[in-house]
Structure 1
């Protein structure tokens, strides 16, 4: 989604300058109008650098969301909170993603807009929920619900993996038993045939 630099007239008549993601100027105009501002001018911004490669792990995403919910609820500025979280990330890819998010927050993007640059790290439902939270002013509650949802999905994923592993182990054990029984039966058959041949030769 393109990024636009825009200038607008606020509800109080003051000039507002900023950046926002929108499909086109018409969508940008509608978004600003919903905020009580009137678009004066807009131009697309070409980023000199594409989105950072790599992605957050599911575990890092849960930790990030939980910490963001706590930070937001405590009234800490989201940029400062993200900077602190990124420094504590042990995975290089996760740290690079968060540093890129912080950079674009400082350039004027909203949190959901900065996360839009990393769809591999932040699912569609995650970013859509944040946009709704930003619009309603309840981003801390949205983050808390997202953290609970991610924890729940990890639990479901773990149970699904266990449900797949157990039948596999059972099947391997069954195959082993069948192979052992077949081997014993074959050995017995060979022994009986050999014994019969010996008796036939002796008589």
Structure 2
């Protein structure tokens, strides 16, 4: 069926637009009128593809999956449940618009998983959980598993952020102190002597200060563009390779990142296998969700070995990426037919290990930051004192 891009005014008076698949233009117009939309324009397009820069935030996905799970479990039709959620102010206007698109897609005859896939903002884990629930007639249970999964992910993410809040504050404070000393106090102090050193750290800082003073607007715009570029880059899948590289420079961080990858892999695999997703497919999806480049790279090997008839335990041993305890527990889960439960327990174990690891890492970072700030300030004080002493001798002559 062809795709049609529409522009309309909804019942609240807001302009809305989107792309839908339908047999003809009249079907799109009838559908929009049923939703009390005032149709402005409908035009056939060659494809639904749109450039998507950002996905959905984990916080919104947690609320969405839990509320949807609760309503579907209570017997509310999926379309009616989405219609209710589309009016919830707890979601951003962008996400409410996405939910409205889902409702319209369902009314055109798409399944819920197809509607999710067409929006291209939901991750593959959520889409496949919904798809498996639809195929097995247990959509409410699949949505509940999805809600539990995303809540666990959000809980761990919040704990890591909370633990890192103080070190980040110290780092920002240190940068502020350095900036004030270098570009406010130092120029005034040196200016009092009427001459500027031609060499050394002080000369470099004075030259930088002069450049920023002359080109402050361009410098501000450049800094803003760099910040936006970094934010966008950190949301892409390529950022995980940079994080992996930086983690290798600090062994405690590398160990913590590895544990987080294993926790994410096991929890995702537990949810997917428990929802009926094919094991070979679930392994690759779980590896992608782990944000660990080594797991992503070797997941294909694990998947291929399982396809050849090897057990998951044997395939994971051959991949050589997991600790011995993971192999043994996975083997036990396969033998007892409780792989889902065992993987969930392994994930819980590593979640606890990550919590402990984060606390240890913070205990290392805090004194290092404080020592670094103190050392830099002491260095700047010594440099300024030496420069001032030299300038005094020059004046004396």
- Contact persistence 1:130–1:139 (CA under 8 A): yes
Paired residue secondary structure (1:87): coil
- Contact persistence 1:130–1:142 (CA under 8 A): yes
Corresponding residue of 2:109: 108
Larger helix share, 1 or 2: 2
Distance 2:46 2:105 in 1: 13
Distance 2:153 2:376 in 1: 39
Corresponding residue of 2:83: 83
- Contact persistence 1:55–1:94 (CA under 8 A): no
Distance 1:190 1:49 in 2: 67
Corresponding residue of 1:66: 66
Paired residue secondary structure (1:116): helix
- Where do 1:21-40 residues align within 5 Å? none
Structure 2 vs 1, CA of residues 162 and 49 (structure 1 numbering), >3 Å: closer, same or farther?
A: same
- Where do 1:1-203 residues align within 5 Å? 50=48, 55-89=55-89, 90-120=91-121, 122-162=122-162, 169=170, 170=366, 171-183=368-380
- Alpha-carbon deviation of 1:173? 2.2
- Unaligned segments of structure 1, at least 5 residues: 4-18, 20-45, 198-203
More displaced, 161-170 or 64-73?
A: 161-170
- Contact persistence 2:62–2:154 (CA under 8 A): no
Distance 1:183 1:79 in 2: 64
Corresponding residue of 1:32: none
Corresponding residue of 1:201: none
- Contact persistence 2:79–2:103 (CA under 8 A): yes
The TM-score normalised by the length of structure 2 is 0.33
- Alpha-carbon deviation of 1:175? 2.0
RMSD between aligned alpha carbons? 3.6
Q: State the structure with bigger RCO (CA 8 A, min sep 6), 1 or 2.
A: 1
Paired residue secondary structure (1:56): coil
How many pairs were matched up?
154
Corresponding residue of 1:43: none
More displaced, 99-108 or 158-167?
A: 158-167
- Unaligned segments of structure 2, at least 5 residues: 3-20, 22-43, 171-365
- Alpha-carbon deviation of 1:127? 0.4
Distance 2:68 2:59 in 1: 14
The TM-score normalised by the length of structure 1 is 0.61
- Contact persistence 1:126–1:146 (CA under 8 A): yes
Corresponding residue of 1:26: none
Structure 2 vs 1, CA of residues 144 and 126 (structure 1 numbering), >3 Å: closer, same or farther?
A: same
Structure 2 vs 1, CA of residues 190 and 70 (structure 1 numbering), >3 Å: closer, same or farther?
A: closer
More displaced, 167-176 or 69-78?
A: 167-176
Distance 1:91 1:59 in 2: 11
Instruction: Give structure 1 regions of 4+ aligned residues with deviation exceeding 6 angstroms.
Output: 46-49, 51-54, 187-193
- Contact persistence 1:104–1:114 (CA under 8 A): yes
Distance 1:47 1:80 in 2: 29
Larger strand share, 1 or 2: 1
- Alpha-carbon deviation of 1:119? 2.5
Structure 2 vs 1, CA of residues 152 and 63 (structure 1 numbering), >3 Å: closer, same or farther?
A: same
Deviations 1:15-62 (A, max 9, x none): xxxx9xxxxxxxxxxxxxxxxxxxxxxxxxx76884786753322211
Distance 2:378 2:93 in 1: 52
Distance 1:87 1:110 in 2: 21
Corresponding residue of 1:11: none
